[in-house]
Every structure is written in structure tokens, then in C-alpha cells.
Structure 1
Amino acid sequence: MPEAGQEFELLAERVGHAFNDPELLQLALSHRSWCAEHSDAASNERLELLGDAVLGHCVAAHLYRSYPDWAEGDLAQARSAIVNAASLAEVARHYGIGKALLLGIGEDRSGGREKISLLSDAFEALLGAIYLDGGMEAASRFAFEALSERIEEVAVDPSVGDPKTRLQELVVRVYGDSPCYTLTDSGPDHGKCFLAEVSFGDAVRGKGQGTSKKQAEQAAATQAWRGLESSEKRDHSSPSITQGKPEHAGTA
């Protein structure tokens, strides 16, 4: 696998961890669809479980120490904001994890390298591999570097944990209306993929996919919120716009 080997090396450089055991990196990137076509290969599912536990420990301990005045509910909401699948998938894209994934032919052709569930699982598996290879210090360092932006957002407001709530508040403020979600699904019952679209202002503003309805809607809400927030920031920074709102929302 010369091409895969090169992708592994590039990913290790981006992550900033020199693996003492390179096989751990390959294992972290081996999806079960690849293993189904290569009988001698193991999947990354066990590493994913380990990485999920390591990530949960790192984030929960950080929040507990950093915000002694937060109630248990705030801590739980903040943790969810940082480690939800859509957030982890976004970080995985940043590091180019999708390019390095070992996928079966069918999964690859169906867009597996961009699926939220595969990317978030692979990120957790990679964290688990770093933990086994370099210990908790190395794993914590990577986790906080990868999620620093998200952690800073949560520090300002733990309620950012729910993308749908965040979008709802912004759409109501800007448009005086609520976002509307539509869902479609495809695939067999044991492996459905859901596609969500969120609309407001007479247009589709965000799309997302996931292995559950909730995951797909959260991904769509995240995309829509970022687009609307960016538009708001541009409007407020422009001297030619006084309200920073879409024309149809601010005119009588």
C-alpha cells in the first residue's frame, strides 16, 4: 500500500506524533469495510472505544478543573459540545484523516471519506492509538490541540453544545422565524444513512448526514449556523449596512 503509506506519514506529521509503532496508526485508520475485503486485517473499532474513553476523560477533567462554579448540567452540556460526532468529524477533516482511511471499495465509492460517523470514529481511534503509543500525556496534548477552538467556544457559553438550539436562537433573532428540518434516509435497516436539510428565509441553508436523525440534523444546523453567523459578522462590519439583517427580515 505505497499510496496509503504516504498518507499515513503525512497524517502523522500533521498530528505531530511520531509513532514508535506505525502499525497502531494503520490500525486506527482501518475501517471494518476494509477488513471485510482483507481477511488478515483488524478494524479500528477497539481503538475507537479506547479513544472515546480517553477523550471523555481529558475533556471532563479539564472542564471540572477549569470551571469550578459550573453545575453538573453545564459540565455535561459543554462536554457534549466538544466531543459530539459533528465536532470530531470537522476536526478529522482539518487533519485530513479521511484521505488516509482504509475503506472497502463500496464504502469508498459511496463517499465514506466524508461521512461524519466514519470521520468521528477514526478521530477517536487515532487518539486511542496515540494513547497506546505515547501515553496519556501525548494523547492529551493532541486532543487539546485538535479541539482548542471548540473548547474556547464552550468556555464562553456552555450552551453551544446543542447546534439546533444555537441555530434556533440566531434565526429567530435575524429572521423572526424558526428553522425547518427535512429528513431522508437511504440504505438497509441495519445501516441507514440519514440526510437532513434545514431551511429558513425561503432557502435551504444547511445540509448534514449521519447514522441517526439527530446526528444528521445537528450537522445541518452546524453548517447553517456557521453560514449565517459569518454573514452577520460581514454585515455588521460593513458601513453600508445598518441592521446587519437580510432585506426581507428588516423592512416593513
Structure 2
Amino acid sequence: MTPRRVLTVAGSDSGGGAGIQADLKAMLATGVHGMSVLTAITAQNSVGVQGAWELPAEQVRAQFRSVVDDIGVDAVKTGMLASAEMVRVVAELLRTLPDGVPVIVDPVSVSKHGDALLAADAMEALREEIVPLATVLTPNLTELGPVAGMEIHGLDDRELAAKRLLAAGAGWVLVKGGHDAGDTSVDVLHGNQPGQERSEFSAPRADNRHTHGTGCTLASSIASYVAQGQSVPEAVASAKQYISGAVHAGFPLGAGIGPVDHAWRWRSL
């Protein structure tokens, strides 16, 4: 049988820990066939991003049409979109998807090392063009305020930001708690449906600094599980279990922050 098909639209990480590379590894590990549309190429390793080059819009359009028009897709995940122009190009393409294809949006703005991956004027474009198309939006605590267009000072602001993003058109908003302190990592899923307005997904926090690619991996695994027929809350629960194991198994690579281990389930067999 042909596995379900998931397309990632994101940048390339030459170090293999995040971006397109992490997406495809996560998709394989969670049971789907991964496909890719590159939006940018980065020179990147364990200590930072040494350079980034956005691909021309016509190349991005050609990649997308090649995959979608022939192979088809059961879900799409977006990651690094880099510029306001690229945000608009990708939004235009997402609007051509068949009805019902879920779109998981990771609003990537800063790398694990603190390097900017999204131009300053692009966040507003992301909020206006991409958020209304998102089945699930997955901001971390650094991204939540900018993508919602407000400052975050406490827990109440997080709730307000999630409500703003739902009002802007996102189907669900998963506020990731990986940047919080404490022994437990808690992600909060916000929805518009009665009885599903707020759900928490928690896991013990790993004592491990090698967490490169966490956000990309989580969003991609959510897309994989949704493509396989799970509801959004079910997919988030499954993805939380997968990423928690991957973070616990993260390994040193190079002189800086190593990646999560996408193959942790296979290594434990």
C-alpha cells in the first residue's frame, strides 16, 4: 500500500538537524512518505547559521506544482519562509490545495542559536496571509507574541494571543512550552470547538542541551499523524510522545547544540 503523503515547504539545514532534513526524517519515523519544497538554503551547523539564501519564487512554485499536481498530498507542513515575498508566494500556493488538505504551520522566526530566519516585515505578512490557512499553528513562546501582534508578559497574555490567532482564522493553536522553566514541558492546544477550547500535553523535561530541530520535528510529526487520519488533539498527543523521546535521545554533534534523534524508536528496538 502507498503510505500517506506529506509535503514540507521550508528551508534546508545543511547540518541535517532542522528544516527540510528534520521534516523528512520525522515523516519517515512517523509512517508517511515525505516530499519537499525548498524555500531557502542555509549554511548551518551546530554553532549557528553562517548564511541563508532564498530561492526564486518561480523555483518554489515549480517544486510545489510538480509534487501536488502529480503525486498529490494528504497534509502540508510549512516552516522557514524567510521573507514577506516568500510568505505571499507560499500562501498563494496553499490556496490552490484541494479542499480538506490540512496545513500545519510552524512560524519559524529564529534558529535554536538565536539567528534570525524571518525578515522583520515578514511576520505581519505571515499573520495576514498564512495564519488564516493554518489547520494547526505551532508557535513557541518566542514566536507567539510576534505572530499574534502583541507583547507577552505572562500566562494571561499567552491565552489572549492564542485567542487572537484563532480569531484570525487558525483552526487550532498549539502554544509550545519548551522555553518555560521547570521539570515538565507543557504544550497547550487551543481550539474553537465546544469542549476543545484548551487541552494540555505534558512530558518530563529532558536534561539534554541537544535539542536542535525540535520545532520542525514536532510540526512535521503532527502533519504526519493528521494525514493518517488522527484528529488534531490525537495527532498532537502522538507527536508530543514522539518529540519527547527524540529530545531525550538528542546527541552531541559538532562543537555546539546537537540535534534531536529522529530514529530513537528504532535505536531502542
Q: TM-score, normalised by structure 1?
A: 0.23
Q: Which of the pair is proportionally richer in helix?
A: 1
| TM norm structure 2 | 0.22
- Which entry has the higher C-alpha Rg, 1 or 2? 1
